[in-house]
């Protein structure tokens, strides 16, 4: 017979993702640097941010005509703010309404837009290139499926994921929230089952080991069509 604790865990009803992410920022679950909103070390530590920016700027400046970039899950915009100048238009999206209000007050440029959207449920902006930095790792497989189905309309998809050291079992399911699959010895691989994301080609842009030895931050550019 199951005890009450295990029964409770098996029947736990997930919070809506918007409510979960609101709480993450309200309770500073990813830490704080004294500001109203903080998206965690992955968006602030120079060891993670600088190699990423170097490769993203190199990619964006390799085109004769600047791309329209959609940043899905832009967070506190500590990373995106450095990329705006290299895009024809930069459309930054997050699910947390107060965070988007804060970003609108803090950052401005003629080619910059902020939108509050649930990228699993709402229509995505139109663009050439989509950036999703450490976002899918927090979402359930069901939500990732919905998002990937919409990414086929972009030519380039640049994903950053916190992955365990290889080998690992990809795509073990989780409840959307603050945590990621790392505690299960898993990580998101969009090319593996159950996602099987269809692409034309792929290129790993950067891989940065985490300070605590718990895996790596891997950024991959997928050409979709």
| pLDDT tens per residue, range 12-67 | 567 788 888 878 787 776 777 777 787 777 777 888 899 999 999 999 999 999 99
List the domains of the chain with CATH numbers: 17-223 (3.40.50.150)
The model's pTM: 0.89
**Token couple for 155:** 């030519």
Concatenate the DSSP letters of all residues of 104-124 into one string: HHH---TTEEEEE--TTTSPP
Beta bridge partners of 161: 218
pLDDT at 12: 59
- Res. 2: pLDDT tops 50: no
Backbone φ and ψ for 144, nearest 5 degrees, come out as: -60, -45
Backbone φ and ψ for 79, nearest 5 degrees, come out as: -95, -50
Which helix (H) or strand (E) segment holds residue 53: the answer is helix 46-60
pLDDT at 178: 84
| pLDDT tens per residue, range 131-173 | 999 999 999 999 999 999 999 999 999 999 999 987 899 999 9
| pLDDT tens per residue, range 74-132 | 999 999 999 999 999 999 999 999 999 999 999 999 999 999 999 999 999 999 999 99
């Amino acid at each position: 017979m199951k005890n009450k604790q295990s029964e409770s865990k098996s029947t736990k009803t997930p919070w809506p993702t918007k409510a979960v992410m609101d709480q993450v920022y309200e309770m500073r679950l990813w830490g704080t640097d004294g500001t109203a909103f903080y998206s965690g070390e992955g968006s602030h530590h120079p060891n993670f941010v600088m190699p990423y920016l170097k490769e993203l700027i190199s990619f964006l400046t390799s085109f004769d005509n600047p791309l329209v970039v959609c940043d899905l899950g832009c967070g506190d915009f500590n990373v995106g703010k450095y990329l705006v100048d290299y895009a024809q238009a930069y459309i930054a999206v997050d699910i947390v309404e107060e965070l988007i209000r804060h970003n609108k007050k803090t950052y401005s440029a003629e080619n910059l837009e902020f939108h509050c959207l649930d990228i699993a449920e709402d229509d995505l902006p139109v663009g050439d290139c989509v950036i999703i930095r450490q976002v899918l790792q927090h979402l359930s497989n069901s939500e990732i499926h919905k998002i990937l189905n919409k990414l086929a309309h972009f030519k380039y998809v640049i994903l950053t994921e916190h992955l365990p050291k290889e080998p690992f079992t990809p795509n073990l399911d989780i409840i959307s929230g603050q945590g990621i699959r790392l505690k299960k010895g898993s990580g998101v691989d969009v090319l593996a089952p159950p996602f099987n994301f269809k692409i034309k080609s792929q290129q790993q842009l950067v891989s940065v080991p985490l300070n605590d030895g718990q895996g790596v931050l891997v950024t991959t550019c997928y050409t979709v069509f």
